[in-house]
Every structure is written in structure tokens, then in C-alpha cells.
Chain A
Amino acid sequence: MDLILVNLIDGLVTGLLLFMLSAGLTLIFSMMGVLNFAHASFYMLGAYFAYQISIALGFWMGLLIAPLIVGVLGAGVERYGLRRVHQYGHVPELIFTFGLALLIEEMVQFVWGKNQMPYSVPEILNFSAFAISGNSIPAYKIFMIFISISIFIGLLYVLTKTRVGMIIQAALSYPRTVEALGHNVPLIFMGVFGVGTALAGVAGVIAGPVLGTFPGMAFVLGSIVFVTIVIGGLGSLWGALFASLLIGWITTFAKAYNVKMESILNAIGFTTPENMDESMLRDLWSLTSPQIADILPYILMVLILIFRPAGLFGKRTQ
């Protein structure tokens, strides 16, 4: 029971982190119809910038400044890159962001090298907040939950209570109409892209110390973020939240409990074959849940796309 609580907290941290990325990605997709392949790259940039800033000015300035730089970079990418490619259609846009993701990874290696950066949790948060039957919960995790939830509340406030938020919400459902109403849609696009990437930057700043700041970090998280918003339903913010938490918990629990495929298969009524070496399915029998934890989201996504192509909360199919 206590272990379940610990895993619930761990899964929540992962889920909220995913949500910070998937929220921005969803906003960008809903407004512009572009799946930003480079979204996780901005998350990585957030971590690296914060690391660089934290050397000179400390962690807190990093948390403040790095997302801003990332957001400005993101807005620049939209203004000078995406907007140009937009005229060729959606497929080139997707290819553009894909190329951008590759290039950002190379650039990061160019500047910081291939090794992991010694970017670590600030001293002030480096203690154990409380313990649940011997499993201590680091204060930093509580801090991450706190930051993510406040960002979520902030986002909710902006989207539902402010004028800009109204326009964005309207644009989510009726992009053409909003344009026809005379709003400066290109500016809104640039803004949303900037804010979305800045959110990814924040996620990078706070995730860098725990998940590691290395050139592959974008790749590790990037495709999972995609999976998240596809499962949640492209364009649905609530879907993104639900799917993020779902994936956070599924992967955490799959890793924490070593469930063997053998026991599952035995439970359904299959008997373990005598001579395992002869069987082509020997790998299936020896599977364990931690082994497949990382691919569970993909399996989930493929299943969802087959049986409910619009995603859990999605309305649009394209």
C-alpha cells in the first residue's frame, strides 16, 4: 500500500512533466495544425541553457531566464522558418520540424559535447521532504509537482479568463473564423508557438537535474510526448492531461512491479513449455513488465489509433 503511494507520486511527477510538454504541443497543433517534431528539442535547450545560467547565476535565475530564451527562440523559428514552409503544406512543415530536431541535437553536441552535464538539484531543495515507510520522497519532486501544477493553473486562467485566451480557445475550434474576424492570426501563432516552446523550456529546466542533461534527452522524451497527445486526442488539452498522467503512471508501475509474462500467461491457462530453447516464442515467455515499460505507451497508441483514431478525447481525425 505504501509502495503504491510512492509510485503514485513518482508517476505523477512523470505525468506532469509530460503534460508540460504535451500542453504546449497541443496548443501549437490545435492552432496551426503543425505537429512540432522539435518540441522536445526545446525542452532539451531549456535544460542546457538553465545549466549554463546556473553556473553563473544559480538555479533560480536559470529557472527564470532559460524558458524566456527558449520561448524567444521558438517564436523566431515560427516567424522565420515555419511561416515560410507553411505555404508548401502540412507535410513539408512536419519535415521541417523533424529536420530542426535533428539540427538542434547536433548543435547541442557542438556546443556542449556528447557527455552528460553536471546540472544538479539546487542545494536548498536537496533534502528529503518526507518518508513513506522507509522510502524517502525528495523535496525536489514535490517542487516539480508544485511548479507543474501552478503552470497548469496559470495556463487554465489565461485560456479561460483573458481576452487572448478566448481568442486562442476560439481558434482551437474555429481557426478560419477567428482569422476572418480580423484577429492578427500570424501574431497569435507566433505567440502561441513561443509560449508553447517556453513551457517545454520550463519542463527542461526542472527535469534536467533529475533525468539528466545530455544530447539524447530530447529524443528519449520526444516521441513519448507525441504518443501522449495522440492518445489524448490531437488538439484536446484535457486529453493531453489525462494521457500524460496515464502514461506517467503506467510506465512507473510497470517498472516498479516486476510482473512476468510467464505468470500472466500461466494465469490465463497456458502452461510453460518444457524446452524453452526450441520455442520461437521463448522471448515472449521471459518478458517482464520493466522490460516493456518503455514501449507500453507505443502499444497503447497503436491500439488507440486502430480502435479510436481520434484519440480518447479527440474530435478531429485529421
Chain B
Amino acid sequence: MNDQITTDPSKPAQRMRAGSLTLTLAPWIISAVFLAILPQIFTNNSTLTIMNQMSITIVFALAYNMLLGQGGMLSFGHAVYAGVGGFAAMHIMNMSDFFASIPLVVLPVFAGLFGMGLAMIVGSFSTRGAGTVFAMISLGVGELIAACSVIIVAFFGGEGGVSGDRTYAQPFFGVEFLQQIEVYYLTAAWVIISAALMYLWSRTPVGRMANAVRDNPERAEFLGYSARWVRFYSFVASGFFAGVSGGLFAINYEILTEENLNTASSGVILLVTFLGGVGYFFGPIIGAIVFTLLQTVLSLSTELWAIYAGSLFLATVMFFPGGFAGLIMMHVAPFKLGKLRLLIMPYIKTLIPAAIGILGLAALVEMTFHVRHAAAGDNEMTLFWTTFDSHSLIAWAIAGAVTLIGLGIARVTAPSLKEAWDEANTAGGAS
């Protein structure tokens, strides 16, 4: 801290650093305040549940991105570390004497330590390489531990999983975490703490070298760093925070099952992180928020939400490998040039028809699904607040027309959007 106070603001380099401190602190304070007042706006319990789930996913996705985004390591089995941390937390909950002597708020630390311990064991051999070999080992270990969960019943509880009761912990300033809102604040505090720690990690020597090793492991070796050990430290740190997210899961749901460990969960976190964008620190946060909303809101209204999520994911990989964060950061250049407003009209002209077209397409998909899978004679379906006969030609014609017209307009206006985009990214000119 002293370092900052004694800087001389007349030197430009130092002034820039002092300025960047306020800039770096601002998002953290804003998010903390935001998380604090959120329950005042949304008061019902189901919203709190969604927000808790979001928070857990945020911690997990950030931990995952320590590997994928910052270290260049693709893991297909990262749920294992969160899961093992969570199971460990459940077992601590069930050790009544010990559990009664610790406040609930520190439970995630224990979960993190267990995740970290497992990561140290696996990392000792898996971090020799990045790339395909690392990915394969992560998959193999993930499958192995997930399969063990039905065999090693003492720890994983078999099919039924392990459950416990969080309220037996030592009261924390009189709070016993009986109510959802109390759990919310606990989770929210942990999100801020973990996110801040993970951000700080990325600013430490080993965090910087993780980026270097990701980009060019050989060069890093000729700078005195063993690529393997740099990867190992990232892996272990990521295991710790994954474990923390598992601990938060344990506190929230009070039960852990095989589902917390399996490859499907590992796949989901990859999806979340990549959707959000691996290139920026805040990417996984956006990914976690968007994905949780998709999952909860969309899955309420359609059985096919996984198809939509999958298509969105594939489209992201193919067309926007930077994810949502990449899309947002693409607009920094036009913003700096003061040309962001040039994009507003073209966006409206292209994106709104495209959105309508995609909704039309979704309607066609839903109608196909209804025709194919609804019980015989059940021709009535409800879509976009309208109820109609899924076998009637008119319905199909309308949906088809909406799709064609929407996507058609988008296609026609796309070139001018491209033009506007190029214009907005060029310095000078009319602005």
C-alpha cells in the first residue's frame, strides 16, 4: 500500500498506476454493494435459490478458468475437485463434535483444502503437459473418481449420496443459517472473497507465468521457470477454489451425490466458462450468470433447453471464440474512438430481425417436437402465450414465415452492419 501513497503524481507512469488502483477497486465495491442490496429487490426464496446457484457456479467457473483461460489447460474432469470438496464438507457437517466447534462460514475453507489435496495428487502427474495429454488424463481421472462414487460407499454414500444439516455448526454471531437469506449472504461473501483472491492470484508472479507458459511453454523454460511446476501451482490453486465452490454447494443444498462429480457436471462448467469467455477474468462470471438464467428460466418453459444451450455453445465456439466477454470487449475500441453510437442503428436493423427469426425457428423446433412426442390426439400446444393446434397448417405457415422473414431481413442488413462496424473501428473520419 505504501508503494502507492508515496508515488509522485507528476510522473506519468506512476500516475497511471495510482489511477488504475481506483479503477481496479471500483468493480469490486460495486459488485459487493450490488450483492448486498439484491435481496431487498428480489425477496422471494426461489430467486434467492437461483442467485445462490449462480454464485456457486461463478466460483467454480472462475476456478475452472484459472486452468483453461489463464493456464491453457483443458480439463474434462474438473467437477471431481468441487465434488470431493463438497463431500468432505458434508462429512465435516456430520462430525457433530468438530462441526459444533467451527462456524459454518469457514466450512468452504475445509472443502477447498480437500479439493486442493486431490489436485496435488492428480497434478503431480497430470501437469507434465498441457494440450491433449492433460485433457485425456483429466477425463480418465474424472471418470475414475465418478465411477468410484458408487463403489466407495463410505465416502461417497453410494446412490443416495451424503446429506447433513448445516445448522449444527457453531452459531456465527448468533446466526444459525436456518433461513435462506442468511445462506445467501454467506454465499455472496464467499463469491466476493474467492473472486478477489483469484484475481489477485492472476497478478502474482506465478499467475503471470501461468499466462506465459500457456502462450509459449518453451520460452518460459528458458526464462528459468519450469512449465510443469507453473502448471502444477495453477492446477492446485484451481483445485482449492473448485473445492470452495463444492463447499458452498454443500452448505446450500445439504446433500451431495454422484451428480456433483460426474463428467456431465465437468462438461457443464466447461460450457459455462467458454460461453462467458476464457480470455478475460470476468468472462466466467458472465457465463455463470447467463447459463444459470438459461438453465432455470428456459428449462421452466421448454423441455428442449439443452438443445438451445448446446447450439448456443457450438455457435460460440465457431463464431465467437472469445465468448460473451470477448463480444463486450470488442466494443472497447469503438467506444474509445467515440463511435459506438454509429453501431446502434445497424444493430437494431440486424439483430432484432435476427432475434425474431431465431424465435420463429425455435417455434418450428418446438412444434416438431410436439407433433412427434405428444400423446396421440393431443394436438393442442402453447407457445409464446398462445395456444394453438400443432397439426394445423396455419400455425406452421406463420412460424415458417416469421423465421424466413426475420432471418432474411437480418441477412440483407448484415453487410451494412459490417460496414458500420469497420467504420466504427477506424480512427478519424466523421465523428
Contacts and interface: CB of A to CB of B under 8 A. Distances in A.
Interface string B362-375: 00010001001100
Interface stretch (A102-110, A148-156, A182-190): A102-110
B141 interface: yes
Given A95-B270, A103-B307, A291-B151, A298 B317 contact: no
B364 to A, nearest CB: 12
B140 interface: yes
Interface in A219-235: 219, 223, 226-227, 230, 234
A305 B151 contact: no
Interface stretch (A82-90, A117-125, A126-134): A82-90
A181 interface: no
A94 B138 CA distance: 13
B321 interface: yes
Given A85-B317, A90-B131, A317-B133, A283 B154 contact: yes
Interface string A289-301: 0011011001101
Nearest to A299: B144
A318 interface: yes
Nearest to A87: B321
A96 B154 contact: no
A305 B136 contact: yes
Interface in A169-210: none
Contact of B373 (A98, A113, A299, A318): A113
B139 A223 contact: yes
B223 interface: no
A96 B139 contact: no
Contact of B135 (A35, A284, A299): A35
A309 interface: yes
A90 to B, nearest CB: 6
Contacts, number: 115
A35 B136 contact: yes
A111 interface: yes
Nearest to B152: A283
Contact of B132 (A35, A84, A103, A227): A35
A294 B133 CA distance: 22
Contact of B76 (A96, A98, A305, A306): A98
Contact of B372 (A91, A111, A298, A301): A111
B370 to A, nearest CB: 11
A102 B369 CA distance: 18
Contact of A298 (B128, B147, B270, B274): B147
B125 interface: yes
Contacts of A227: 140
Nearest to A287: B151
A106 B263 contact: no
Nearest to A223: B143
B314 interface: yes
B318 A98 contact: no
B125 A306 contact: yes
B369 A91 contact: no
A92 interface: yes
A255 to B, nearest CB: 15
A305 B317 CA distance: 29
B133 A305 contact: yes
Given A35-B135, A95-B274, A302-B137, A295 B143 contact: yes
Nearest to B317: A96
B310 A106 contact: yes
Q: A281, A287, A292, A295: which has the most chain B beta carbons within 10 Å?
A: A295
Interface in B271-322: 271, 274, 304, 306-307, 310-311, 313-314, 317-318, 321
Contact of A302 (B144, B307, B311, B318): B144
A220 to B, nearest CB: 11
A318 B373 CA distance: 45
Contact of B140 (A98, A110, A291, A302): A302
Given A99-B310, A103-B307, A295 B135 contact: no
B151 A102 contact: no
A259 interface: no
B140 A301 contact: yes
Interface string B137-159: 10111011001100111110000
B355 to A, nearest CB: 21
B313 A102 contact: yes
Q: B148, B307, B369: which has the most chain A beta carbons within 10 Å?
A: B307
B144 A298 contact: yes
B321 A92 contact: yes
B290 to A, nearest CB: 16
Contacts of B154: 280-283
Given A283-B154, A309-B128, A295 B137 contact: no
Interface string B358-401: 00000001000100110000000000000000000000000000
A100 interface: yes
Interface string B68-89: 1000101010000000000000
Nearest to B264: A219
B129 interface: yes
B71 to A, nearest CB: 11
A113 B93 CA distance: 41
Given A91-B74, A99-B313, A295 B144 contact: yes
A287 B274 CA distance: 39
A291 to B, nearest CB: 6
Interface of B: 68, 72, 74, 76, 125-126, 128-129, 131-133, 135-137, 139-141, 143-144, 147-148, 151-155, 263, 267, 270-271, 274, 304, 306-307, 310-311, 313-314, 317-318, 321, 365, 369, 372-373
For the complex of A and B, the 8 pairs showing the least CB-CB separation, nearest first, are A103-B310, A295-B147, A298-B144, A106-B307, A301-B140, A99-B314, A306-B125, A99-B313
Interface of A: 33, 35, 81, 84-85, 88, 90-92, 94-96, 98-100, 102-103, 106-107, 110-111, 113, 219, 223, 226-227, 230, 234, 280-284, 287, 291-292, 294-295, 298-299, 301-302, 305-306, 309, 317-318
Given A81-B318, A110-B304, A318-B131, 16 more contacts: A35-B132, A81-B314, A90-B131, A91-B131, A98-B270, A99-B314, A106-B310, A110-B365, A280-B154, A283-B152, A291-B151, A295-B147, A298-B141, A301-B136, A305-B126, A305-B133
